[in-house]
Amino acid sequence: MALLDVANVSIQFGGLKAVSDFNLALEQGELVAIIGPNGAGKTTAFNMITGLYKPTTGDIRLNGESLVGLRPNEFTARGIARTFQNIRLFNEMTVLDNLKAALTLQAKYSLREALLRTRKFLKIEDEIEDRAIEILKILRLDAKIDILAKNLPYGEQRRLEIARALATNPRILLLDEPVAGMNPNEIEEIIRLIAEIRESFKLTILLIEHHMNVVMTIADRIKVLDFGQTIAEGAPDEIQNNPKVIEAYLGRRGRK
Amino acid sequence: MRLIKANKVYIIMILSYLLLETLNRLGILNSYLLQIIMLAGINIIMTISLNLVNGFTGQFSIGHAGFMGVGAYSSAVVTTVFFHTSSWPVYFQVPIFLVSLIVGGMVAGLIGFLIGLPSLRLKGDYLAIVTLGFGELLRASIRLIDYVGGPRGLAGIPKYTNLFWVFLFTILSIYAARNFVNSSFGRACISIRENEVASEAMGIDTTKYKIISFTFASFMAGVAGGLFGHLLMFLQPDTFSFLKSIDYLVFLYAGGMSSISGSILGAGILTAVPEFLRFLANWRIVIYGVLLVLLMLKQPEGFYGGKEFGFLKIVRQDKKVRTEKAS
């Protein structure tokens, strides 16, 4: 059985069918990329898989358990974490506190214990801080611990988004355009980081990306969307030569 | 010497209390000044609790005086109507007073919870209107309860609130707020303010944390109300109208959002200033208004926005330890 099974999912906004009959079976450890022109419904599909939108029809199952109708935080608690295309950090919080906020699920103490700062509270807080620093180290942000998130350079903000998602201890990580707006050096670093965290956290990754080099390098499998429909699916080299994909991106050759 | 340094803050607190108390006992502090100091303390508790909702959690509530009213009445009912404490032996009176404060806090907290449940789904100005509505609803409901005097008010409340209790509860509130903010509860609330969508995506049950902060703030407002009733010895429902809620908003903004120190300064200074401007007679409120406008224009972040006094900061591990861990 697949780890994540998205079956015949569709969503309609008013008269617009943004995504129709989306199917996806993610196996443990896979890295799958979703590509497609702007407005193809990639982020909408992401929003359904993370609970932000409720699909009009279809089912989303994680290890056989249906998630449709749950709130986004419940999706995360069950092991699906994400980053955002338009960065959504906690700007006025420090890098460390961004991570600690994402570790809230691990803070298993009561309000009373927090107000009295009991020994148990202090112990858990220490564990949270250690865990946060550990993750920041992997994402090479440990030197920036006390900086406000909004004051980080762009590339580091993207990395902090990934770090924060990892802090929720996910089994599946969804990355929405992780290299958008980055320079070639930064892109190379992110590719390396994704490979590294995939290995060390035993992650299954689903990513949206426009940058073809990145997709072709790291994806095991690619899914192509256009106007909400899946138009192709397969290994990177199959996709590269698929005439339907070329048409979606470049348009049909005109006739003389 | 080291012991003194480590406990500097506590020593300063105790000394400043002793100083005020001595001045009071010697009769140098007249009852008028004493009253202002005690009101300032109560206003500090109110402003800090409002800060938890409006400042730290980023929800716009403008009905906070309603919870103060509920707390004031509940607490006064316990001592005055229910127990008639003034006819009891003296050593029973204070414990009952303390219990009544907790009762006031709990009733206000319960009502805060019930109001928060449906309202906190709304955001921004919509939430503001709903909290305004509920605040007025609470005040108007008290007017209808004959048991507590209805619109005539509740008289004959014994004066239990003194400098010591105000001082103690103000310090307790400051520490409670500090510990709340510096825990996963506080971080969850701040993350909601910063970006609610991302907060949810990090597994945070945003509704739950909004309700926790709202209920906790209502509880504190209820306790402050209890102190207020036993200070004025008379309660009237219209005291807790939305105008009073606006006062607390002003204290909050003038002090600085999301700063406990700011709330202390804002409520403390703005409670005192209009009183010290009394020599201006009719011009008093005009000057007060002008001062507020100037403050907001010259220093929009308030007296102490975004900063905290040293003793309100919590440094869990010093930087050296952290860097060692990081490297």
Is B319 or B78 the better-scoring residue by pLDDT? B78
Minimal Cβ distance to A90: which of B194, B317, B325: B194
ipTM field: 0.93
* % helix, strand, coil for chain B, step of 5: 80, 0, 20
Structure tokens, A21: 């009959």
- In the chain, the amino acid numbered B236 is Q
Give how far Cα B201 sits from Cα of A51, A171, B85, B204, B220, Å. 9, 14, 52, 7, 30
Residue A205: count of CB within 10 angstroms of its CB: 24
Q: What is the CATH number of domain A4-250?
A: 3.40.50.300
Asked whether the beta carbons of B60 and B135 are under 8 A apart, the reply is no
Indicate the SS3 state at residue B74: helix
Q: What confidence tens digit (pLDDT) does each residue in B39-52 have? A: 999 999 999 999 99
With CA atoms as reference, report the closest residue to A232 among A250, A246, A211, A219: A246
Residue A244 sits at the chain B interface (C-beta within 8 Å): no
**CB B326 to CB A133 under 8 A?**
yes
Q: What confidence tens digit (pLDDT) does each residue in B133-185 have? A: 999 999 999 999 999 999 999 999 999 999 999 999 999 999 999 999 999 99
Which residue shows structure tokens 């048991």?
A: B147
Sign, CA dihedral A211-A154-B196-B319, equals positive
How far apart are the CA of A185 and the nearest CA of chain B, in angstroms?
24
CB pairs under 8 A between A and B: 117
Asked whether the beta carbons of A175 and A163 are under 8 A apart, the reply is no
Q: What confidence tens digit (pLDDT) does each residue in B27-74 have? A: 888 888 999 999 999 999 999 999 999 999 999 999 999 999 999 999
Q: How many residues are listed for chain A in this entry?
A: 256
CA atoms within 13 A on the CB side of B61: 35
How far apart are the CA of B147 and the nearest CA of chain A, in angstroms?
34
Q: What pLDDT score was predicted for residue B9?
A: 80
Minimal Cβ distance to B194: which of A77, A91, A146: A91
Indicate the SS3 state at residue B108: helix
Q: Which residues of A touch B185 (CB under 8 A)?
A: 111, 114
| Alpha-carbon span B54 to B255, nearest angstrom | 13
Asked whether the beta carbons of A248 and A36 are under 8 A apart, the reply is yes
Phi-psi region of B131 (alpha: psi -120 to 50; beta: other; left: phi over 0): alpha
Confidence category of residue B310, pLDDT binned at 50, 70, 90 = confident
Q: What confidence tens digit (pLDDT) does each residue in A8-19 have? A: 999 999 888 899
Structure tokens, B216: 């906790």
Say yes or no to pLDDT of A69 above 90: yes
Cα separation of the two ends of chain B: 35
| Alpha-carbon span B130 to B96, nearest angstrom | 35
**Fold classification of B9-254 (topology level):** ABC transporter involved in vitamin B12 uptake, BtuC (1.10.3470)
Structure tokens, A212: 């073809």
- What secondary structure does DSSP assign to A159-226, as a single string? HHHHHHHHHT--SEEEEESTTTT--HHHHHHHHHHHHHHHHHTT-EEEEE-S-HHHHHHH-SEEEEEE
**CB B216 to CB A111 under 8 A?**
yes
Q: What confidence tens digit (pLDDT) does each residue in A94-141 have? A: 999 999 999 999 999 999 999 999 999 999 999 999 999 999 999 999
Question: Counting Cβ atoms within 10 Å, is residue A246 exposed (0-12), middle (13-18) or buried (19+)?
Answer: middle
Rg (CA), chain B: 20
**CB B202 to CB A107 under 8 A?**
no
Give how far Cα B58 sits from Cα of A125, A143, B72, B238, B258, Å. 24, 29, 26, 28, 9
Q: Which residues of A touch B188 (CB under 8 A)?
A: 101, 104
| Alpha-carbon span A124 to A109, nearest angstrom | 8
Structure tokens, A51: 């609970």
Task: List chain A domain ranges.
Answer: 4-250
